[in-house]
Structure 1
């Protein structure tokens, strides 16, 4: 799996790492059960602090795409499907668009609830 980060980007480096994994899952390049590189190893190879990598991994854990286990590292969950990963990317894009429009969290959630209840 290839990780790319752009230090000149306005996107935080941890977010860029999470996006790399999301993209790999969405493209089917990473399958459930597969291990991701250890945070320390990945950080060294990218010239990043291990905590930056862990922030990206934590984000993926909160999204349900990976599990973090002491001694086992980061493993892609059984629920991590390409469809789920693409959906998570689109949700992040919608959230960014909403921020750009100045919408509040409550306004965005109301729009999402309406969409969910009126297919």
Structure 2
């Protein structure tokens, strides 16, 4: 599991963790039964306070996305609820907003960014143009 935190973001760190884990589950990058890092390991990896990771995991647990087993670990729930399209669009919009902010920072034009996105989609869809 890869999580990238934006320190300049107005979004709280725990919420960034939640959003990225949600996205990875929805995108199939994290599959039912996959083990997530322990609170301590993820806090060390990011690096953030363990309570921040705990707050994120608590929220994901309440949403039914993860299963925390005492003494065994934290896993993606065996039957993950399907996200509505509106929720998927909302999550993708947040990710694209972060990408757009980075593009502005790197002085990438909107046309260049669009080209990068188009190439990435083509690469993931076997060379076909996006629909």
Smaller-chain TM-score range? 0.5 to 0.7
Shift in alpha-carbon separation, 1:4–1:33, aligned structure 2, 3 A: same
Instruction: Report runs of 4+ in structure 1 exceeding 2 Å deviation.
Output: 86-89
Cross-structure match for 1:44: 44
Shift in alpha-carbon separation, 1:88–1:74, aligned structure 2, 3 A: farther
Cross-structure match for 1:90: 87
TM-score (norm 2): 0.62
Shift in alpha-carbon separation, 1:89–1:37, aligned structure 2, 3 A: farther
> 5+ unaligned residues in a row in structure 1: which ranges?
94-119
- Cα RMSD after superposing both structures: 1.9
Shift in alpha-carbon separation, 1:10–1:70, aligned structure 2, 3 A: same
Distance in 2 (CA, whole Å) between partners of 1:70 and 1:51 is 17
Cross-structure match for 1:18: 18
Q: Which has the higher contact order (CA 8 A, sep 6+)?
A: 1
Q: CA deviation at 1:22?
A: 0.6
Distance in 2 (CA, whole Å) between partners of 1:89 and 1:53 is 26
Q: Determine helix, strand or coil for the equivalent of 2:74.
A: strand
Q: How many residues align?
A: 89
Q: Please say if 1:3 is aligned against 2:18.
A: no
Q: Determine helix, strand or coil for the equivalent of 1:75.
A: strand
TM-score (norm 1): 0.68
Cross-structure match for 1:65: 65
- For the 8 Å contact 1:22–1:89, the answer to whether it is kept is no
Cross-structure match for 1:96: none
Alignment of 1:94-109 (within 5 A): none
